[in-house]
Structure 1
Amino acid sequence: MFTKLRTKRKPMFMIIPMIDIIFFLLVFFMMNSLQTIAQKALSVQLPQAQHASAPVQMPIIITIDAKGHITLDNKPVSIQEASVMMRQHMAENPEAAVVLQADRQTIHGQVVAVMDILKAAGVKRLAIAAEQKG
């Protein structure tokens, strides 16, 4: 009776939408990895300074949160452990830079105690982290 006269079409590769998707995924993963690297173990609210700047080298980072907990390169440590570890770091690399990140709510005595440990360990290059006023 009726015959279907349909021509079979070959499937086509749509390359432009595939390239768009690949670029979108690339940008997504790049931004995600940058955000992951930027975040540190403790969330602290840095005080603001007019002339704050980022250091050039990868320094040793000591963080003190609002409750006084100390981390050394993202590892929670006691004040005694921080002292021992800093002495080891400075013995290996006497020119190492140290960045002290203290929450603005941190007790001043805790910050002074950590700075005293750093001085005893022989730290010559100490920076206190602050956010730039915007």
Structure 2
Amino acid sequence: MIEFGEPLRGNRIPDLTPMIDVIFLLLIFFMLTSIYSKPVIPLDLPDGASAVKEEREGIDVGIDPDGRIFVNGDPVLIDEFEIYVARLLADEPGQPVRLMSDASNRFGLVISVMDKLRLQGAANISIVTDGATLDEK
């Protein structure tokens, strides 16, 4: 008969390598599949009691407190703004344009941007507000 040695006694530590591999694979999976948010321009929007939430595709034009203009999150110089918007409107004419301006901006700058949008054929321009009424403030 075959004789086997005595079984090992004492602390046996399980091999953690496969578990560490699985943890790293899960970490990589969740890092690659998570949804990254778009960069957002910090704006203090003016109040509007009659605001309606709109979830359609279109062009987002933002004016930050320093007067810089952003189109769909991309910074655009005021001189290049008309050309940039004309290209976007040429792809899909009639698409809505949402204008977001900080409450502290000069009114003249907002009107200038609206005029340039209309000159390029934007007919559906909405001004975005935060939806709060004066009573809520």
**TM-score normalised to structure 1 length:** 0.69
Question: Cα distance 1:7–1:67, how it changes in 2: closer, same or farther (>3 A)?
Answer: closer
1:56 is matched with 56
1:78 is matched with 77
Looking at structure 1, the residues matched to 63 and 99 of structure 2 have their Cα atoms a distance apart, in angstroms, of 8
Indicate if the aligned counterparts of 1:63 and 1:102 stay in contact, CA closer than 8 A. Answer: yes
Higher strand share: 1
Number of residue equivalences: 120
Residue identity (%): 24
Q: Does 1:103 align with 2:102?
A: yes
Looking at structure 2, the residues matched to 79 and 111 of structure 1 have their Cα atoms a distance apart, in angstroms, of 12
Looking at structure 2, the residues matched to 132 and 12 of structure 1 have their Cα atoms a distance apart, in angstroms, of 58
Indicate if the aligned counterparts of 1:52 and 1:130 stay in contact, CA closer than 8 A. Answer: no
| Ranges in structure 1 where 5+ consecutive residues have no aligned partner | none
| Ranges in structure 2 where 5+ consecutive residues have no aligned partner | 1-5
Looking at structure 2, the residues matched to 92 and 44 of structure 1 have their Cα atoms a distance apart, in angstroms, of 28
Alignment of 1:1-134 (within 5 A): 6=9, 11=14, 30=34, 33=35, 36-37=37-38, 39-40=39-40, 42-50=41-49, 51-57=51-57, 59-133=58-132
SS in 1 for 2:55: coil
Structure whose CA Rg is larger: 2
Post-superposition offset of 1:110: 0.1
1:92-125 deviation line (CA, Å, top 9, x unaligned): 2112211111000010000000000011011121
Looking at structure 1, the residues matched to 111 and 63 of structure 2 have their Cα atoms a distance apart, in angstroms, of 11
1:75-107 deviation line (CA, Å, top 9, x unaligned): 222222111111222222112211111000010
Indicate if the aligned counterparts of 1:62 and 1:98 stay in contact, CA closer than 8 A. Answer: yes
Opposite residue 86 of structure 2, the aligned amino acid is R
Post-superposition offset of 1:48: 2.4
Which segments of structure 1 move beyond 6 Å, counting only runs of 4 or more? 7-10
Higher helix share: 1
Opposite residue 56 of structure 2, the aligned amino acid is V
**TM-score normalised to structure 2 length:** 0.68
Looking at structure 2, the residues matched to 113 and 8 of structure 1 have their Cα atoms a distance apart, in angstroms, of 78
